[in-house]
Structure 1
């Protein structure tokens, strides 16, 4: 409200729910306050496709993508002051203090991954004061390699992605794993109590599908198990 910069962490608390194979996250007050103001048009938040960053291996790549995609229309960023830039990328003060190490292990790594796996084609120039590098300026263009296979992310048409699992809900996944043909094909993966208790079996197999969907599409697309009649399913 007073136009002063506020620094805040994103997350106040994280709780791991082992029984549900999920994570409960509580955001900090400042983040919640801003998130609730997002309307997609008037606020200074950038919408970007989650699929653009889902396949990245480096957190630096994700953070750099989030930073650069805001300048996609302008096609060029302002000069990022190196100290602020390091903080934005999540580089600790004790990490990569030599400019060579910072470029090699953070900037170049992230730029290469963005160019290979996303809809952006980026490059940068170093900005100096005298002989000292004080910042980076990025060119941000559209990557013409929009097909995932072309940019190095091959995907089986029958394999679900890590968030939607072929667009199936948890309820549908639970029905699938109780299909008698599915049980006959993959039931051997469940051992111990997971193989004896139908509730545990269902939860175990749904989690396995979410973790490794490609393992369950070799015989036939997983969605086809929904096409059976009621007597094709085993219920507890």
Structure 2
């Protein structure tokens, strides 16, 4: 699988919605497709998702991929979500409700789904000069719980510190898209939603998670999460020759120029700290390039964006 980078504005990460696994996967593929255009998208852009692409990225049969794309024409078109934003003239918080897509079509003979994001969604996957969260698609590709995918996104937004603040149980349920009547008893919520999601994240992603619960009287009213990055198998780390001469010749101006270019590469997703902007990421990359080992590690990507020794 490619190291495809999913990037979302944190407003979208913290939105409240209920999408099935196949629908979440199609949204993620559409976001990646939007990034791959390299030219940005508008509320008129038509993004193509191929059944073969869906099948390969999520390791499902072609038949399952065909069904996912066909069903999305009706199901995904009806899906809505809500998010909090700031009203431009007053700086007051408002709640916005929107559809995910304004147009969707399935080309049966070609097994292609054509998606056009709703106007309110477009800036949340394109205005990335502000705070955003990014992660590699492969981290959620094996998750089969819709709650696991949502929880992983909510957690990874706090990647830099490895823990979340306390969140009220009511707000957490809303972010997962649960109706008030669903899994009302805590024992059912834990056994059907929370603990299976954490188990899948621990089994199939790059982090290990645990949670803590908070009570008001006898009732659980809040949760917080802490997580750690899993250790990388050193045998999988590619060894590169030390590039002492090239490292000694790069100037400060070049370092900042190419750091800006590197910050926009999907391959740099593993170095992202999640909530930083592209400009903040570029500054940190420039600092990384002052280190010989990091310079060597990033040298193939430096060449990709035009660096010549």
TM-score interval for Structure 1 and Structure 2 normalised by the shorter chain: 0.5 to 0.7
Please say if 1:18 is aligned against 2:108.
yes
Say which one has the larger Rg.
1
1:194 counterpart residue number? none
Relative to structure 1, the CA distance from residue 135 to residue 11 in structure 2 (aligned partners, 3 Å threshold; closer, same or farther) is farther
Q: 1:129 aligns with which of 216, 233, 237?
A: 216
**Structural mapping, 1:11-90, within 5 Å:** 11-38=101-128, 42-90=129-177
Give the total of aligned pairs.
144
1:146 deviates by: 6.2
Q: Deviations over 1:134-177 (max 9, x none)?
A: 11100121122669xxxxxxxxxxxxxxxxxxxxxxxxxxxxxx
Distance in 2 (CA, whole Å) between partners of 1:14 and 1:80 is 35
Please say if 1:103 is aligned against 2:190.
yes
Q: Where in structure 1 are there 5+ consecutive unaligned residues?
A: 148-236
Distance in 2 (CA, whole Å) between partners of 1:146 and 1:102 is 35
1:19 deviates by: 2.0
Relative to structure 1, the CA distance from residue 4 to residue 112 in structure 2 (aligned partners, 3 Å threshold; closer, same or farther) is same
Q: Deviations over 1:175-225 (max 9, x none)?
A: xxxxxxxxxxxxxxxxxxxxxxxxxxxxxxxxxxxxxxxxxxxxxxxxxxx
Structure 1 ranges of 4+ moved more than 4 A: none
Distance in 2 (CA, whole Å) between partners of 1:25 and 1:93 is 31
2:201 counterpart residue number? 114
Tell me: higher relative CO, structure 1 or 2? Use CA pairs within 8 A at least 6 residues apart.
2
2:305 counterpart residue number? none
Distance in 2 (CA, whole Å) between partners of 1:146 and 1:49 is 18
Distance in 1 (CA, whole Å) between partners of 2:233 and 2:226 is 18
1:181 counterpart residue number? none
2:94 counterpart residue number? 5
Do the aligned partners of 1:71 and 1:140 also contact (CA within 8 Å) in 2? no
Give the structure-1-normalised TM-score: 0.57
Q: SS state of the match for residue 29, structure 1? A: coil
Q: Deviations over 1:17-47 (max 9, x none)?
A: 2222122222221111232212xxx422111
Cα RMSD, aligned residues only: 1.8
Relative to structure 1, the CA distance from residue 49 to residue 4 in structure 2 (aligned partners, 3 Å threshold; closer, same or farther) is same
1:54 deviates by: 0.8
1:150 counterpart residue number? none
Distance in 1 (CA, whole Å) between partners of 2:136 and 2:232 is 16
Do the aligned partners of 1:15 and 1:24 also contact (CA within 8 Å) in 2? yes
Q: SS state of the match for residue 48, structure 1? A: strand
Relative to structure 1, the CA distance from residue 143 to residue 128 in structure 2 (aligned partners, 3 Å threshold; closer, same or farther) is same
